Amino acid sequence: MDNNNVWRKDFPILDQKVNDEDLVYLDNAATTQKPKDVMSKVANFYYSDYANVHRGVHTLAERSTEQFEAAREKVRKFINANSDKEVIFTKGATNSLNLVAQSYGEENIHEGDEIVISYMEHHSNLIPWQQLALRKKATLKYIELTDDGQLDMDDAQRKITDKTKIVSIAQSSNVLGVINPVKELAQIAHSHDAVMVVDGAQSVPNMPVDVTDLDCDFFAFSGHKMMAETGIGVLYGKQELLEQMPPVEFGGEMIEFVKKFDSSWNELPWKFEAGTPNIAGAISLGYAIDYLESVGLDNIQKNTQAIVDHVLPKLLDIDDLEVYGPKDPANHTGVISFNLKGLHPHDLATGLDMEGVAVRAGHHCAQPLMEYLGLSATARASFYLYNTISDADRLVEAIKATKEFFKNGTV
């Protein structure tokens, strides 16, 4: 399988030893590694075309602006938005979701209104709504999960009511490895005149996303989880909603005219992009999208699915290993959370690290989910396009070795 993975060579960081073992990087849900080609194109941009955007008439400013806006157009096409006006560059998914809460939420949520999220939300799609609800004396409601960690759609029907103004759900879970039917949720939300917000941080890097087809009102994601630089992300919003929303940050770029006691705002999308933006970050996102499209999201899905088909049964076979989320590989994404009975996940993760296998351990920024599952933390392996079946086997072997280590150590 290693020989068949044609993309691995594009990621120089993977070719190294960690703790004397060949590195197996399985922390992709936290952040992905960067292709050499994307990084060298960003470097070339800095070396030949860099200047500030949308200001000044000189040639470099023009080149820089052109590439920055070309990146926006790549994003638009990638998620199938209708217009570049609907693509706002942010710092990341967290920043995008906060923007919706602070602008749309601040204007439209009133005392007694309801905001509906689910138990599997990442803190970034939870705390902005929790704090908005507290500010406005609104009610925050959580959609329950089924026994195997899927969103309970019957409960969604019950929780979303005529009082609901905002529904905000992750398209793909960062802990449970499930995909949520956000298109169906958008229909339910719209039937109650609520807006649908989608946290796409875990989905956009891994599956084709069409915001027009989903008919969601807002969609947030991060560049660094899809091979672009850190500090760049996107908020997609329907134009008619964004037009009505007030800016939350003020400064350069976002203004039209500034007078002593009053100002007017630039048009979309710049109204929401105060200050010098993350120019190189946006350009890196454009190149990362080029890379993703050259690989093909369907090929990424196929590679991950083959790994999950192979590894999930093996993990379920390990005595004393509890695996969370759906047990059927067909319903499981490349994010797999687990615990070894009697061992804290940090101890497990240290053992895996000693074997060269990088996984995440902790609450995954989902403390209410951990509480809901009756856990304090889990270990999590997450696969991406450069991972292989043999990476998955290394994970299984390392878990078994760590289990033996602690068993024999304590006997």
Partner 1 sequence: MALSKMYNLYRQVILDHSDNPHHHGELPKSTNEIELKNPTCGDVLKLQLVVKDGIIKDAAFSGYGCTISQASASMMTDAVINKKVEDADNMVQVFSDMIIGDDVDTNVLGDAAVLQGVSKFPARIKCATLAWKALHRSLTNQSK
Which residues participate in catalysis according to the annotation?
365
Run of H or E including 158: helix 153-159
Q: Which is nearer to partner 1, 310 or 363 (CB)?
A: 363
CB of 91 to partner 1, least distance (A): 21
CB of 297 to partner 1, least distance (A): 32
Q: Which is nearer to partner 1, 296 or 342 (CB)?
A: 342
Q: Which is nearer to partner 1, 188 or 369 (CB)?
A: 369
Q: Which is nearer to partner 1, 322 or 347 (CB)?
A: 347
CB of 222 to partner 1, least distance (A): 20
Q: Which residues in this chain contact partner 1 in the complex, by CB under 8 A?
A: 19-21, 343-347, 350-351, 353-356, 361-363, 367, 370, 376-377, 401-402, 405-406, 409-410
Report the DSSP beta bridge partners of residue 360: 380
- Percent composition of the chain: helix, strand, coil (DSSP 3-state, to 5): 45, 20, 35
Q: Which residues of 247-257 are buried (b: 16+ CB within 10 A; e: fewer)?
A: bbeeeebbbee
Measured between alpha carbons, how far is residue 277 from residues 51, 58, 102, 234 in Å?
12, 18, 19, 12
Specify the 3-state DSSP secondary structure of 264.
Answer: strand
Measured between alpha carbons, how far is residue 266 from residues 180, 247, 255, 258, 328 in Å?
36, 10, 5, 11, 50
CB of 347 to partner 1, least distance (A): 5
> How far is the C-alpha of 358 from the C-alpha of 339, rounded, in Å?
15
Cβ proximity of 403 and 338 under 8 Å:
no
Q: Which is nearer to partner 1, 96 or 174 (CB)?
A: 174
> How far is the C-alpha of 22 from the C-alpha of 46, rounded, in Å?
33
